[in-house]
Structure 1
Amino acid sequence: MHTGLTCSGNLISTVNAEFKRIKTINLQSKFFSSLDIHSTSLIDVYTKKGGVQGKKIKSIMLSITKTDSIEYVRLECILKGLCVYFNEDPEKLVKEYMSINNSSQTAMAETVFRMFVIRHESAEPGDDPQNVGIILEGVEDELGNVSFAVAMMFALV
């Protein structure tokens, strides 16, 4: 289970508390347990997908084989694959930046609502990102990994 995924921050504690108040369940444990339950089936569906979508999904899923199955990398690939499967661009879910520069800082400051990942220029598929978080009306909250940021984003939506 994903009980080791913890992050600090005002946004996270507020979202978790509000979600628990409304739904009377823990957001993180429910999201990750549901994702775990369906991940094997999703991977099976992805491997059967053909055409352009199938190729995109296969390239996304390559990150799983290039690492020692680090759990957060696996979940990130599954979530991005789901975007492609539903004919959406994963960049609409998670915007990746290769470094922080003036143009990326400006783009992030002008963002209303999006997840972001900042990777080192020479990063390999299984390498930890430099930073992961959610931008809400130009304010960044660091979250640690993409799957946790997706959980927070769903709760915010």
Structure 2
Amino acid sequence: MNRGIVFGLILYLTSSVIWGQVAGNMNCMSCRNRTIIGNGNEFLTAGTFSIRMGQYEEGIRLTELGLTRYQPSRRDRSVAQSNLCAAYAARGEPFVAIDYCTESIRLEEGNWRAYNNRAYSYYLLGKLSEATVDLDMAAQINSDARQVLQLRGMINERGLRPRVIMEDHQ
């Protein structure tokens, strides 16, 4: 009797997990906030992990190895380029970052993270109008992304800073 209950409970839990995965795959809206970490490309995977841990030099090195040693898919190349963009922006090299983001967007126009990363790079350069254009594109693709909302707040805050105008008195 107890084995039957335990078996039934396991079957119920397993089927609900499987059903949830199938239902999640049917609706790609839930896929938008996932980070894809390469399929079988250990260099891209390790590069992503290093960048997330703030080890930008190592992340850049590993990601570039993953791009040159393997033939990643167009999607994985786009993600890797976006990761390189994020790493260079985090290192304070927005000019280099913008080139990587632009390449990522060229490979896959629907990559909202690349638009967001490029918007951040423009923000670092003080180019708020360009940053806003890219951020609007990222929001069109994934309006629920907290990174988009956070960067929009940063841009708005910088745009609202008070400016003092001095007059010459004679």
TM-score normalised per structure 1: 0.27
TM-score normalised per structure 2: 0.26
Return the structure number with greater relative CO, CA threshold 8 A, min gap 6: 1
Of structures 1 and 2, the larger Rg is shown by: 2
